[in-house]
């Protein structure tokens, strides 16, 4: 099983720890536990309100900062040049670092021209405040336009074995862009999938581990599962050791791919058909 996804020179640990909806001591504890288990990819965002705790957890762990691939995201209300530059500096201050490994634009916003937002993102990168840059929740046509404007490393989207992202994956592959899967466990909707349970039984693994192995076994795909539970954090990380057969992957491929847990329409984003 691959442990790293590469794009635009970045080596992104294929399995990261997501922190959406974690706050305060819970976020700190989750990141510390993830680092202790072996995760080296931590995902946060301005919107999550936990950049401080993520930064403290990294700084107070035994893992050197340069061994952690840290992502944060600029919220969609700040996608003008001044907003991106200002809030990036605010993020870095909260994190306690002079750079992040990856800085993303968090959801498109028609109020702000995409080209200007991408130019500002490049400006942040050139200033050394972000090693790599990218986007989040960009449908395929928008991703192609972004790739023509800036060196996009990843597009972070909802992606799991019950939701297809074929159009995004094709554009990403064409432009050498990684796809990072958030909500990779479909927010708990996988437990009743008998296919995952059957495959898991053959591997001595849980359905969640099989779902993660299916994702990170794909070329150019990383995943960032979240959990509050220390045992589950470790179980998720162990998915890196599972190698699915072609037949097993085909069975998972055949599952319905139309079950969203996050609605792009809430952000006025028309998405590709599943």
Residue 11 belongs to domain with CATH number: 3.20.20.100
Residue 178 lies inside a defined structural domain of this protein: yes
Residue 268 lies inside a defined structural domain of this protein: no
From residue 223, alpha-carbon distances to 27, 167, 182, 230 in Å are 18, 18, 6, 18
Residue 206 lies inside a defined structural domain of this protein: no
pLDDT exceeds 90 at position 147:
yes
Distance between CA atoms of residues 119 and 125, nearest Å: 10
pLDDT exceeds 80 at position 182:
yes
Q: Which helix (H) or strand (E) holds 43?
A: strand 41-43
Residue 197 lies inside a defined structural domain of this protein: no
Residue 209 lies inside a defined structural domain of this protein: no
Tell me the percentage of the chain whose pLDDT exceeds 70: 99
Is residue 48 part of the annotated active site? The answer reads yes
For residue 21, give its domain range: 4-185+216-228
| Rounded mean pLDDT, 40-59 | 98
At residue 271, the pLDDT reads: 93
pLDDT exceeds 70 at position 264:
yes
Cut 0.85: pTM above it: yes
Catalytic residue among 17, 28, 39, 48: 48
Q: Confidence band (pLDDT; 50, 70, 90) for 268? A: confident
| Rounded mean pLDDT, 20-42 | 98
How many domains does the chain fold into? 1
User: What is the C-alpha end-to-end distance of the chain, expressed in Å?
Assistant: 27
Q: Confidence band (pLDDT; 50, 70, 90) for 120? A: very high
At residue 2, the pLDDT reads: 66
Residue 241 lies inside a defined structural domain of this protein: no
From residue 34, alpha-carbon distances to 28, 48, 263 in Å are 10, 18, 28
At residue 192, the pLDDT reads: 84
pLDDT exceeds 80 at position 144:
yes
Distance between CA atoms of residues 247 and 265, nearest Å: 35
């Amino acid at each position: 099983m691959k442990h790293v996804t590469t794009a635009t020179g970045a080596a992104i640990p294929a399995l990261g720890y997501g922190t959406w909806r974690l706050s305060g001591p819970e976020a700190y504890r989750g990141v510390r536990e993830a680092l202790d288990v072996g995760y080296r990819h931590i995902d946060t965002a301005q919107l999550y309100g936990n950049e401080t705790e993520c930064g403290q957890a990294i700084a107070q762990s035994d893992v050197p900062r340069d061994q952690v691939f840290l992502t944060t995201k600029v919220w969609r209300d700040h996608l003008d040049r001044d907003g991106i530059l200002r809030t990036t500096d605010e993020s870095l201050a909260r994190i306690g670092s002079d750079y992040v490994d990856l800085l993303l634009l968090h959801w498109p916003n028609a109020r702000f021209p995409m080209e200007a937002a991408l130019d500002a993102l490049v400006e942040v990168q050139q200033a050394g405040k972000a090693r790599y840059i990218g986007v989040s929740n960009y449908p395929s046509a928008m991703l192609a336009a972004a790739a023509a404007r800036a060196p996009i490393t990843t597009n972070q989207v909802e992606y799991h074995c019950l939701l297809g992202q074929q159009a995004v994956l094709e554009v990403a592959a064409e432009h050498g862009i990684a796809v990072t899967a958030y909500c990779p466990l479909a927010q708990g909707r996988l437990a009743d999938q008998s296919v995952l349970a059957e495959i898991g039984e053959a591997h001595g693994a849980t359905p969640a581990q099989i779902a993660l192995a299916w994702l990170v076994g794909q070329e150019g795909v990383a995943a960032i599962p979240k959990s509050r539970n220390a045992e589950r954090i470790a179980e998720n990380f162990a998915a890196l050791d599972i190698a699915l057969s072609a037949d097993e992957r085909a069975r998972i491929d055949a599952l319905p791919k139309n079950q969203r847990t996050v609605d792009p329409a809430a952000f006025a984003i028309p998405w590709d058909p599943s």
